[in-house]
Amino acid sequence: MRRGGPFGAVIVKDGAIVGEGWNEVLRSNDPTAHAEVVAIRNASRLLETYDLSGCEIYSSCEPCPMCLGAIYWSRIGRVYFAVNRHDAAGIEFRDEHIYEEFARPLGARELPMVHLPCDGALDVFTDWTHLADHVAY
């Protein structure tokens, strides 16, 4: 806990734990190594699939926007958490700024985001959709 805060998560399928994780950001120097993401990675590796439909995740804290995005992408069916994001802000883990940024139009965000359309960029996406073995996830 000293190295990553009080954050842990487990993923359960059919009553069995299939993935667990704790915050490894400081240990690994990986800003994406939040407990939920680590648990998703471990569950996906164990189950040999990116699709965690039928799973539930239990987390010590309400998932941050990044983790919530990962939970949606993995298709986990339900999230349980013990402490909400407002409580986490009380110990200096503040996600509210990110939630507020997402609600702003691109041009009004603190992080500059510039759409640079260019000739041929969409062709790669179109070509991918025509591949016989493409998998939409």
DSSP helix/strand/coil, 79: strand
Closest CA to 36 of 5, 14, 60, 54: 60
**Which of 36, 96, 101, 110 does the annotation list as catalytic?**
36
Conformation bin of residue 94: beta by default, left when phi > 0, alpha when psi is -120 to 50: beta
Residue 101 designated active-site = no
Cβ atoms within 10 Å of 17's Cβ, excluding its own: 14
Closest CA to 35 of 72, 62, 74: 62
Using alpha carbons, list the distances in angstroms from residue 56 to 27, 30, 34, 76, 131: 26, 24, 17, 6, 33
Active site residue ranges: 36
